[in-house]
Amino acid sequence: MTAPDRLPLPSSLSSRPGAKWLPRAALVALLCPGLASAGPGTSSMSAPRAVQAAVESAAPTTEVPQPRAPTRDELARYAWLAKDAKVRPLELSIPAPEGYTRVAVESGSFGEWLRGLPLRAEGTPVLHFRGGEVLPGDDARLAAVAELDIGTANLQQCADSVIRLHAEWLWSRQQREQIAYRFTSGHLASWPNYAAGDRARISGSKVTWVRSAAADSSRAAFRSYLDLVFTYAGTLSLATAKGRPTREDLRAGDFFVLGGSPGHAVLVLDVAADAGGRRVALLGQGFMPAQDFHVLSPGGELGPWFALEGDAVATPFWKPFPWTSARRFP
């Protein structure tokens, strides 16, 4: 169970990670290359007018990348995507706050994979599994909605969304033998065993696995396996994870979880830091009823980023998560 002598970059460049400001001379050279090298009288536009035109065309912009068809690499990395989907990657769509830089992530890591998480168009609402609206697209607590299917049953809620994304990362990395999650009862549900034909027989809190189906390692079988996990796992399961990151060690791919019936879990999608060492994080969640996974926003000067300086991390839809609730997958 989301200064006059320094001018803003052109909108075509300002969305690039780390792009901030250019000196006036550099901007003029960029926008008016002929002017930078030409002598007097070689341009029909005077230098002041050319600079003014450059400034006007480079006015500050808050535009985000427009959704477009997924690339071949994205279709491989995010296997649930349809070829006709319209997406924009998280890292380019949600820049770090002014003065902050994204913390380095290891190549191939869960954190790097999450930075490319495909998002729907800006202003997209959050829908539940039956198609009804849960949050309008302009809700102040909503930063973005992921392009991620949720199925037609009330299964993929908060903890399930965390499990889903972690499992999809392992799938994309061809590390499918590592896909395994525990039911609330403590019993392990292993994808390799499920793919080999094992099926769970559940009686109360007792679970036994019986080889009773044909071997099937297809995507369809994988989604059936995940739905089984979503049915019998939850926040109580996630809370048993042995990885306990500290405030200083928190990284993308970690999560906060308060186990219960109900409990809640939110996933750390990215982390950024300023020169003074202050850290902020992007957080995403699924929720009840099963609904689109979405990026949260606390509002304020940090935009959709949550400060990590307090004794707990407060999110819009649940009580604050103390640092003792931070967990990490193996």
| Residues paired with residue 86 on neighbouring β-strands, in sequence order | none
Residues of the chain with pLDDT under 70: 1-64
Q: Which structure tokens are listed for 282?
A: 């992007």
φ, ψ (nearest 5 deg) of residue 278 = -70, 140
Q: What is the pLDDT of residue 64?
A: 65
Under 8 Å between Cβ of 207 and 200: yes
Asked if residues 306 and 97 have their Cβ atoms less than 8 Å apart, the reply is: no
pLDDT of amino acid 62 = 52
Q: Is the peptide bond before 262 cis (omega within 30 degrees of 0)?
A: yes
Residue 211: strand pairing partners: 198
What SS3 state is found at 262? coil
Q: Judge contact between 303 and 311, C-beta under 8 A.
A: no
- pLDDT tens for each residue of 108-140: 999 999 999 999 999 999 999 999 999 999 999
Q: CA-CA distances (angstroms) from residue 125 to 136, 267, 291, 294?
A: 5, 19, 11, 9
- Nearest Cα neighbor of 1 from 318, 322, 328 is 318
What is the predicted pLDDT for the residue at 43?
33
Q: Which two tokens stand for residue 258?
A: 């308060």
Closest CA to 109 of 229, 254, 240: 254
Give the per-residue pLDDT at 20: 32
> What are the residues facing 8 on neighbouring strands?
21
User: What are the residue ranges of helices labelled H in 46-174?
Assistant: 47-57, 72-77, 90-93, 110-115, 158-172
What integer pLDDT is reported at residue 190 of this predicted model? Answer: 98
What pLDDT, in 10s, does the model give residues 265-278? 999 999 999 999 99
Give the model's pLDDT for residue 63. Answer: 65
CA distance 229 to 219: 15
pLDDT, residue 204, reads 87
Strands 255-258 and 264-274: antiparallel
pLDDT tens digits along 35-86: 333 333 333 333 333 333 333 333 334 566 899 999 999 999 999 999 999 9
Tokens 């959709």 — which residue?
304
